[in-house]
Each structure stands twice: as C-alpha cells, then as structure tokens.
Homo-oligomer: A and B are copies of this chain.
Amino acid sequence: VTIKAVVFDAYGTLYDIKSVAAVTEQAFPGHGEIITQIWRIKQLEYTWLRSLMRRYQDFSDITRESLAYALRVLGLECDDGAFERIMDKYLHLDLYPDAAAALAGLRDRKLAILSNGSTAMLNALVRNSGLDRVLDATISVDARKIFKPAPEAYSLVESVLGVPPTETLFVSSNPWDACGAKAFGLNVA
C-alpha cells in the first residue's frame, strides 16, 4: 500500500488535552485533575449521544455544556470570566513535544487533521500552534453535522484531500476513533 496522505486526530493525538488541567487547577485549586477528567468523559458522551439522536451541535457548544456539567456535578461555582478563561485554553492547547518534528518528517505526503472540533476552534488551535504552515488541510466534522466515529465523518478525508481511504493513514490516540476509522476502511495507526 502506498500512503499518500497522513491524517491526524487533534485532541489527545497531536494536542495534549491534559494541558487543560493546569488552567482548571488555577481556577479551582485541588480540583484541576478531576474537572478535566469529568469534562472529557462528558464531552465524548455528548458527541456520541447527540450523533445517535441526530441532535448535532458543534463541538464548541458540546465543550461548554460538558464543562458546565463537570463544575455542576462537583458543586463548584464559576463566574463567567473564569469559565471563559478555561474554555479559551481549548484554542491554545499544547502540542505534544514530538508532534512538530514528526509532522516535519512526513512532509512528502499530504498532511491533515480530521477532528470533532468545530471549524472555528480548529482553525484557531492550528494557527496558535503554528501547524497552519505544515498542514494541507484542517478538516472539521462540522461539514457533515455528525461526530466521529460515524462513517460520514471519516468520509470527509477523501472529499477534501482527494485521496482514497486505502491510500490514507489515519493516526489517533483515541481507541474508539482508531476503531471507527478502521471500520470505515482507513489504514490506522
């Protein structure tokens, strides 16, 4: 198989979502880790359930609602300023230390992100981390109004890059995402 395109998941794969914990810890000392964990679990759950119910809302809304859930269930009060500061971190997530070098080493292929993130969130994140100079495309599932691991989401890769699934390698650290991509027919790492 000749791999002509390498497509990465964003959150948890190229970008360290745990880096949010530093901001939540600052806002709620002693609770940063637990907020971040509940937030992530609920964020995923909302994407899956809304996709199944055909009640899609974009990832920005989902991320807000799941953060509000995490704070509510922990009995933590949050003023608007602190809430927005936490949310803003999602636009300034840290790249994993080896991400930029790994991408640079793959430059002879088409490179892209396929993410559940909304277009606005992803564009800001990619620009803020400098990946806009490396990537050929930043693809949001928003174009299909359904989240990964639905096949419609993965089919966007071929639509945007013009490379068939058999010649595309999809890279994700999220097991459910890797399984979804494989079920769709992509090569997966």
Contacts and interface: CB of A to CB of B under 8 A. Distances in A.
Interface of A: 45, 48-49, 51-55, 147, 149-151, 176, 179-180, 183-184
A54 B180 CA distance: 9
A179 B183 CA distance: 28
Contact of A52 (B45, B52, B55): B52
Contacts of A184: 53
A25 B31 CA distance: 32
18 contacts: A45-B176, A48-B48, A48-B49, A48-B52, A49-B149, A49-B176, A49-B179, A49-B180, A51-B52, A52-B52, A52-B147, A52-B149, A52-B150, A53-B151, A53-B180, A53-B183, A53-B184, A54-B183
